[in-house]
Structure 1
Amino acid sequence: MTDSFAEMKRELYELMQRSRRGNFAPPLPEGVTPSEARTIMMVAGLRCEGEDVRPGRVAEMTHTTPSALSQTFKTLEEKGLIERRRASGDYRAVTVSLTEEGERVAEEGRRLRDEHMDAAMAYVGVEEMQHLVRIMRKMTEFYEQDFERAGKSRAEGDDAPCA
């Protein structure tokens, strides 16, 4: 292994650690925490896909434990951003939906996320971002294959960010 390769590997690990510790996420809509925003965005996204939004699915997609998600749902309900209802036909099943105010917060979250990404892309440049996306796709494929080789599902692996 050459010194330059070892240096590049060290720098990559350092940058990965900095990105994990740093707050490189888009700004949040006013009045919500990162966990609440992530949950609202996931509920909105699942609903857009035409799914009945079930707490278990939200927990799975946000890599959150059901008990932690339950607490987040409770807070979002208290803030008037979501509603939980019993699903018809199965009294045990619960569905989650955004209130009108929750929809407004989700829309604001999408706007802030898009502005943030536009600014990042303008700063880095479209060509460089295309390279980054290509490289990240390859790295994701590598890690997915690595999980498969180890007999793990992606859900058992490290936390992944939500869109």
Structure 2
Amino acid sequence: MHTAEFAKLLGMIMKDYQTHMEEELAPALTTSQLTVLEVLEREGKLKPSELIPFLSTTPAAVTMLLDRMERGGLIRRDRDEGDRRIVWVSITEKGKREAERGVQVREAYLGGVLDRISTHNQQLLVYLLGKISGK
């Protein structure tokens, strides 16, 4: 079994990725905020609770994250017209620009990582990761 070696390499890759992304996205954005912006761009307006599965965190942490994002002008919160108890979260124009920048940062980093191996091995890696992830 190669589980220990796999765990070590996966940990190194994840740490390098997280460090690079946080440094390049700062100070306007974090990786969690980028995730929220990408989900909102793809899904449209959502309730805060609908963001939880994408973030692997608690409702309280999502609320704090959205508070920071709203203060930063990345998202907007609006009360539902029909039911004032419901709050909708949507992306702002500034949020769209920051999401685009964040995606470019990520693609540049991952492109550089993948360029270390051949195109064939890139395809094989993606295939194998898909198998591992169950997708």
1:35 aligned partner: 32
Which consecutive segments of 4 or more residues in structure 1 shift more than 6 A?
none
Q: Report Cα offsets for 1:14-33 as digits up to 9, x if no partner.
A: 2233334x131463434222
- Taking the aligned partners of 2:109 and 2:129, their CA distance within structure 1 comes to 19
Q: Report Cα offsets for 1:130-161 as digits up to 9, x if no partner.
A: 111111121122xx8xxxxxxxxxxxxxxxxx
2:11 to 6, 11, 17: 17
RMSD, matched Cα: 2.1
Of the two, which has the highest radius of gyration? 1
- Taking the aligned partners of 1:11 and 1:46, their CA distance within structure 2 comes to 38
1:118 Cα offset (Å): 2.2
1:38 Cα offset (Å): 2.4
Q: Which runs of 5+ in 2 are unaligned?
A: none
Q: Secondary structure at the match of 2:73?
A: coil
- Taking the aligned partners of 2:30 and 2:63, their CA distance within structure 1 comes to 15
- TM value normalised by structure 1: 0.70
Identity of aligned residues (%): 25
Q: Secondary structure at the match of 1:83?
A: strand
Count of paired positions: 131
- Whether the 8 Å contact between 1:83 and 1:99 is mirrored in structure 2 is yes
2:64 aligned partner: 71
- Taking the aligned partners of 1:9 and 1:59, their CA distance within structure 2 comes to 30
Correspondence list, 1:9-158, <5 A: 9-20=3-14, 22-25=15-18, 27=21, 28-30=24-26, 31-47=28-44, 52-141=45-134
Q: Report Cα offsets for 1:24-55 as digits up to 9, x if no partner.
A: 146343422232222222222322xxxx3221
Amino acid at match of 2:120: E
- TM value normalised by structure 2: 0.82
